[in-house]
Structure formats: C-alpha cells, structure tokens
Amino acid sequence: MKIAILGASGEIGARLAQIAIVKGLDVRLIVRSTDPRMARWGNADIRKADIANKTQLQDALTGVDAVINCAIDKSSTENEDELLEKNAAFFTNLVETIIELGIGKLVDLSSIAVLPPRVTADVLTNDYNYSTEADWYTNVKIRTEKIALTYKDKLDITVIRPGIVYGPYMHWSKMPFSRIMTYTHVLPEAQNSVCHAIYVDDLADLMLFAADKNNKLPQLIYGINPEPVTWQAFFNIHAQLAGDNPTPTRILPLAQLNQLQKVDGDELLVPGTKRSLIDTARRVFRALPPFITNSNAFKGLIKKLKAMNYGLLNYDNYLNPPKTLAYPLFIPSAFEIELYMTDAMPTADKTGVAQGFVYKTGIQKGALHAANWWKFKL
C-alpha cells in the first residue's frame, strides 16, 4: 500500500513523513517546493508539484493507494478572501483528481477550530455547527470540509479534526513556553475545564491508521487524546518542564478577567484593544488600491503584522512591563478565553478509540519531549 502525503514539508506534514518513513511504510512525499529537511531522507520518494496544477497533481498521485492531505496555502501574497478561494480551488482539484485516478482513500487534516471556540456538549451534538469566527484559517478548514461533504458518495474520505496539537516544533507548545517564561498566564475560572490536547506523533499515527483501508472509520473523527487534561494543567506542565516560573498560571473569575481586558497600562496586554486594531486595519487594507497592496513594502508590512499577531515577535517593546514585575499578567484574548472554557469531550466513537485506535502519548511524556526540543536537547 502506497500512501501519498501532501504538504510533507509543513509543520505537521513533516512530522508525519518522518514517522511514516521510520515505520518503513511505502510513502510518497509531495511538496510545493523542496525543503532542506527532506534531505535527511535520501532515498525517499519525493515529488515536487504545484498541487493547484491538475497535470502535475495527476503525475504526483499516479500509483498511490491512499492520500493524506496536510497541505494548506498560507501564502501572504493574497488577501484573505483570495487565499480562501485559492485553498478551495486546490482542494476541489485534489478530490476530483483522486476520484479520476481511482485512488481508494483520502484523509484530510482539518481542525477543531471549525467549531465555536468554546466546545460544549451542545456544540458536539451537531458536528457541523460551524464557528462564526472571522479567522482565515478557520474559514479555510470550514470551506474544505464542506467541499469534502459534496463528494461523500463518490469517495472514501475521512476528515480528521485534531484538537490542540503540541510537541516539538508545534505552535501549541511554543506558545505556552514563550508565555510562561515571561508572564503569569491568566485563565478563566471554569468548571470541568477541558484541553483538547493531542501529541503530534499520536496525530500522525491517527492519520496513518485512517489511511489504512482495513480500518473502517467514520467520515469525520476528532484527533483528541481521551486523557483528561485541564487548561491550567496544560500550561503548568509545560512550565514545570521548561522554565522556573513559580506562578505560571492564575485562575480568575470570568467577570474579573473581562474587566482586566479593559485595563490600559504597562502591566497588561490588552487583547481587546489589539483585536479591534487588527480588525480596523484589515478593513482599511482591503480598501486600498492594488498598486499599494501588491507592492513589496506593503507585503513586508503585512508579514510583520501577522507575525506579531501570532506571537512570533518579541512583545517586550510593545508591553514595556515595569522592571519590578518579574512575571506580569498575560491576559488572553476574548477568543482564547472562550477556548479555555471548553468543558466537553467527543465520545470514543468520534475519536477513533471505538474503532481500535490507541493514543499512546500522555501529556507528561508529550510535554517532556516538547521541553527537551525547546531547550535544544533533541
């Protein structure tokens, strides 16, 4: 059985490719452009293809039995509406090509972000009660899921919605490490707080499990370790393994946390204000003429702003916290507050457990691997 992995040089796709090769599986790695990380797999079957080009995609997929799609176009050269349409066109092209070639299985990597950020039991009663957030990534995943549904009678497809994917190189480990090294992270007081955590290697194994035609899975499953983990435990465990912050988290009543969001001062990040500025800037940018939006200077500015938004730059100059505060409070955004108040888990039949999949890596072990990578021990 030969499995094609699309997006094999991406954050999750690269880890999936590594695990598949180490397991000795017959895989073909399909990438948009060559990446230095691919060099470590000397004799691997690697194909460079523009996945929006049907001819190139047909050539890259000929001879495979299953496809795992981890590809998403995050290019900063288009505005978000164009980026959404570009991803939708690519995914439609992918599905139609798979059907034309008679490939037996497609596994598509989606995200639990397609649901409202606060996942409750009521939310989980309807898997297609999609989020109304304006985030482009969320909207891309929603759009591709809807496209997949239109082909459900023509193709054996499994859509996997992973929860919080953490581990080496993963955003959901880099983020807590970055925050708890400098701040005390404030979390809302919530009964039955649930962090939908999944270690990246478990997600890779789940995708490979779903690609095996011998494993019968529902059309939609969630990639979430059934081990109960609260959001405070998620942050605290990362903190204990990678830093020396004695108070990495603080729980506050929601009313008090909402009030702190409105405080304007050097001690506090003001995500409410930040979100308003981002939304206002987006509206202004979209109204600008093409000769400005297509310029290199403008694209450079957008790239820097996106980096700031996703926490890739140093916020010290932005916050300018008083020197007397060793660990000033970090107040999460309104979106994150909703996320941290999640209180429901998908049932075993929706996580692959009922179908025989075993999640192997618990939060302590997974966070330790992430911490060793963070401290450059791996």
In tens, the pLDDT along 232-291 reads: 999 999 999 987 888 999 999 998 888 777 654 433 444 455 556 666 777 787 788 888
Contact 102, 316 (CB under 8 A): no
Q: For position 317, what pLDDT does the model report?
A: 41
56/50 Cα distance (integer angstroms): 6
pLDDT at 17: 94
Pair of tokens at residue 24: 């000795």
Instruction: State how far the Cα of 311 lies from the Cα of 41, in Å rounded to an integer.
Output: 31
Residue pair 165/200 in contact by the 8 Å Cβ criterion: yes
Residue 315: predicted pLDDT: 41
Residue 268 tokens read as 């506090």
Task: Output the CA–CA distances (angstroms, integers) from residue 374 to 163, 171, 173, 242, 315, in the order listed.
Answer: 21, 12, 9, 7, 19
Amino acid letter, 366: G
Positions in the chain whose pLDDT score sits under 50: 264-271, 310-324
**Which domains are delineated in the chain?**
2-162 (3.40.50.720)
Give the CA dihedral 176, 185, 246, 243, nearest 10 degrees: 20
Strand duo 164-166 + 45-48: pairing: unpaired
Q: Nearest 5 degrees, angle CA 156-CA 162-CA 167?
A: 130
Report pTM.
0.83
